[in-house]
Structures are given as C-alpha cells and as structure tokens.
C-alpha cells in the first residue's frame, strides 16, 4: 500500500459518498495515513483525521472485523486466476454483498447501506 493508493481511495470515497465538511476519517497510524499529502487531502476536503492509539488494535475493531470476514467469506474460500479477477470479486463482495445484503449485529442486524441512509 502506498500513499498514492490511499489518496486515490480517499478521493474515490469522497466522490461516491458526497461527503460534507466535518467528516471524520479514521485510520491506523500507518506511514501512508500520516503522510503530508494524505493529510493535506483530508484538510482540503474539510475532513478531520482520527487515528488509532499506537499498538492498540481495539481502536480499529470494526475494520479488523471486516478484514476477518473478507478473508473467511471470500479470500480463503476462493481461488483467483488473476489479479483482475481478485479485484473484481473483492469489489463485488464489498459493494454488493457486504454493504447491501449482509446484516451486521453491531448495526442492529440491518445492512450497512440501510444504516447509512438512516444516519444521513
């Protein structure tokens, strides 16, 4: 993962979600998230940076849980023939299944897309 990749991902997320100033963007303390370019991009879009405490995975429990599910439900269960196939299947898992079909206990057993609509 590079700073360029994290910046591209942030730009894509900000465009797709039509974010408003004051958005809190949480990450771990990785060098790519502390990089000046990434921090400048956050500030230019009116975002506030939030980072986990050093060496404390519990601060990022939601993402740790997500990656655990992704690995169990997709990665370990499949065999990808190419990088493009892997990218396509991860995209489908996240955008189609995880956010629009899979119910989450921490959200009161509703799907993330519905939870986001209720909070908007």
- Strands 48-51, 24-27: parallel, antiparallel or unpaired by DSSP? parallel
Mean pLDDT score of the chain, rounded to an integer?
91
pLDDT of residue 19: 84
Phi, psi (5° rounding) for residue 99? -90, -20
Residue 89 confidence (pLDDT) above 80: yes
Residue 1 confidence (pLDDT) above 80: no
Look at 54 and 58; give whichever has higher pLDDT. 54
* Sequence-separated (6 or more) residues with CB below 8 Å from residue 52: 26, 27, 28, 29, 59, 60
How far apart CA 51 and CA 30 sit, in angstroms, is 9
- The predicted model scores a pTM of 0.67
Residue 16 confidence (pLDDT) above 90: no
Confidence of residue 34 (pLDDT cuts 50, 70, 90): very high
Q: Say if residues 102 and 111 touch (Cβ distance below 8 Å).
A: yes
How far apart CA 8 and CA 37 sit, in angstroms, is 11
Burial 66-89, CB ≥16 within 10 A → b, else e: eeeeeeeebeeeeeeeeeeeeeee
pLDDT of residue 95: 92
């Amino acid at each position: 993962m590079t700073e360029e990749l994290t910046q591209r991902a942030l730009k894509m997320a900000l465009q797709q979600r039509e974010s408003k100033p004051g958005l809190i963007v949480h990450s771990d303390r990785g060098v790519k998230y502390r990089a000046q370019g990434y921090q400048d991009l956050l500030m230019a879009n009116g975002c506030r940076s939030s980072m986990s405490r050093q060496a404390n995975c519990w601060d990022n429990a939601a993402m740790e849980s997500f990656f655990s599910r992704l690995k169990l439900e997709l990665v370990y269960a499949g065999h990808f023939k190419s990088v493009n196939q892997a990218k396509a299947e991860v995209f489908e898992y996240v955008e189609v299944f995880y956010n629009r079909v899979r119910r989450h206990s921490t959200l009161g057993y509703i799907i993330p897309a519905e939870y986001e609509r209720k909070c908007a």
